[in-house]
Amino acid sequence: MLYKLRHLLALTACLVLLGACGGGADSSVTTLRCSNSADCSTTGVTVGEPFVQKVNNLEVTVDRGPAGLFSLSTNILYASVTVCAPGARPGDSAAGKCVLIDHLQVDTGSVGLRILASKVAALGLLPVELAASANAAGVAGRAHECYPFVVGGLWGPTAVADVGLGEQWATALPVQLIQDDPGAAVQAPMDCFNAVNGQILSSASSLGSNGILGIGSVTLDCGVLCLDSHYANSYVQYYSCPPGASSALACYPAAVGANQQVFNPVAKLGKDLSNNGLADNNGVVLVLPAVPGTGAAKVIGELFFGINTRNNNQLPLNARQIHLGVDWQNSLSPHGFDSYLSVTTQFNGQTIYNSYLDTGTNGLFFTDSSITPCNAAVTGQATWYCPANPLTKKALMSDGDRPGQNPVEISFVVGDAGTIAAFDTAIAGLAGAPASSLGTTSSFSWGLPFFYGKRVSLSIWDPASKDAQYSTGPWYSF
């Protein structure tokens, strides 16, 4: 597939800080920094039905975040997965070869499983080995990756693991191990450091999670540009580092084959012989309960794997699909806009081409000068909106490459972001202006608040699929 290296889709974890309870602007996630856990007590309201394990689902939650952080994460969707050395399974004879990792952020705006390296150190996962022909220096090595997000980025080696998503498994899955050892010999190279604006995220406290479960709209995290190490006019995404390298100076930009790139774990799920040989790997259906205007301490939801593969993940007969752009070279655009892997949002008289649904973004981010911004002393940043009373707004979402086609009107609420002081982890009306790091390009990020109270289907684009609904491009339906 011709994937464009577009990490303002794959990297839309636009996790802007709300620095209350003592402040703190050193993280890329929305957290309340508190001196101890008692200071971050919540209102205690839980919404959602008790989770019931099925063949193709995973429990997802919005809660206070990984234990021991003494911080409160806001609007971050979490899940737990099992990571095993290839061939091992929990409870089999390969004792110590599997580990359950909790509080991974579920991110529909990025691709790939990325885990703090220390969480799987005992498993002895095999590194992704690259041949000498993969780089200009002709030196064989192990794959390392630089993966930028809108705010900050990740650095670390890649390895192969078997990953359990509920009762289903993605086998021989290339994953990234987020380097969280400050004493490791190979730290992020300067090119990566510059690409992430100096913000290398290397701990649970900086991430607000133990890693990222990226289940976005494509199968690979890079695609054709990394097949031939086409990094001109960009940052280097994949490196080859010789075993025993003493610094990143010994690493070289590398070409990485499709079977070695970090892969979407959902797209890797295997066929189920008991389900007519179907695989639940063509997308996901996310179901989250509505959150009251006063917020909630915990939200319990459900992530179904597959679309139209079982009774529990069917699209309604009248479901409208909003298609993401697939024109990575902008050849279809009469105006030169970049619609790749984006949809169109019409709001306040503007047509915004850089729009996307993203559980990895903790608020709704858009520009509206008529909404009162927050007092920075209250929220830590003035980019959040704090209207005196909740506002109801409307926008129109349509196809990415062909704006206006398949339009769906969306009504949403903008509340006072200052209510974060109530110490709730789930806030439906959290909204703000796009972070300055997004540059001058107009954008509309439909973050996690969009998903509350909805059943949202997000397909995965797979050109090899025999079903044209999935081979021609990805789409959203809700």
Q: Residue 17 domain-assigned?
A: no
Task: Classify each residue of 339-369 as buried b or exposed e, where b means 16 or more C-beta atoms within 10 Å of its C-beta.
Answer: bbbbbbbbbeeebbbbbbbbbbbbbbbbeee
CA angle 342, 239, 78 (to 5 degrees): 50
Same domain, 292 and 159: no
How many angstroms separate the CA atoms of 416 and 404, rounded?
Answer: 31
Same domain? For 355 and 417 the reply is: yes
How far is Cα 369 from Cα 92, in angstroms, rounded to an integer?
Answer: 59
Instruction: Answer yes or no: are the C-beta atoms of 312 and 57 closer than 8 Å.
Output: yes
Give residue 328's pLDDT band: very low, low, confident or very high (50, 70, 90): confident
**CA dist., res. 204 & res. 376, Å (int):** 26
Angle (CA) 150-153-157 rounded to 5° is 150
Mark which of 275, 305, 340 sits at the end of a domain: 275
- The backbone torsions φ and ψ at residue 432, rounded to the nearest 5 degrees and listed phi first, read -165, 180
Q: How many domains does the chain have?
A: 2
Determine which helix (DSSP H) or strand (DSSP E) holds 299, and give its type and residue range.
strand 298-305
In tens, the pLDDT along 153-202 reads: 999 999 999 999 999 999 999 999 999 999 999 999 999 999 999 999 99
Lowest mean pLDDT among 6-10, 288-292, 358-362: 6-10
DSSP secondary structure code for residue 385 in this structure: B
Is residue 211 assigned to a domain?
A: yes
In a domain, 392, yes or no: yes
Collapsing DSSP to helix, strand or coil, 197 comes out as coil
Residue 263 shares a structural domain with residue 322: no
Q: Same domain, yes or no, for 452 and 352?
A: yes
Domain annotation covers residue 20: no
Residue 314 domain-assigned?
A: yes
Please give the biggest Cα pair distance in the chain.
63
pLDDT digits (tens, 9 = 90+) for 221-253: 999 889 988 898 889 999 999 999 999 999 999
Residues 268, 304, single domain; the answer is no
- If you average pLDDT over residues 44-70, what whole number do you get? 91
What pLDDT digit, counting tens, does each position of 102-155 carry?
999 999 999 999 999 999 999 999 999 999 999 999 999 999 999 998 889 999
- Tokens 């992430």 sit on residue: 196
CA distances from residue 316 to 18, 29, 77, 311, 457 in whole angstroms, order as listed: 38, 35, 25, 11, 11
Tell me the three state secondary structure of residue 419: helix
Q: Where is the domain boundary, 275, 298, 332?
A: 275
Containing structural domain, residue 431: 284-477
Strands (E), 149-260: 153-165, 168-178, 211-215, 238-241, 252-253
Give the separation between CA 446 and CA 322, rounded to whole angstroms.
14
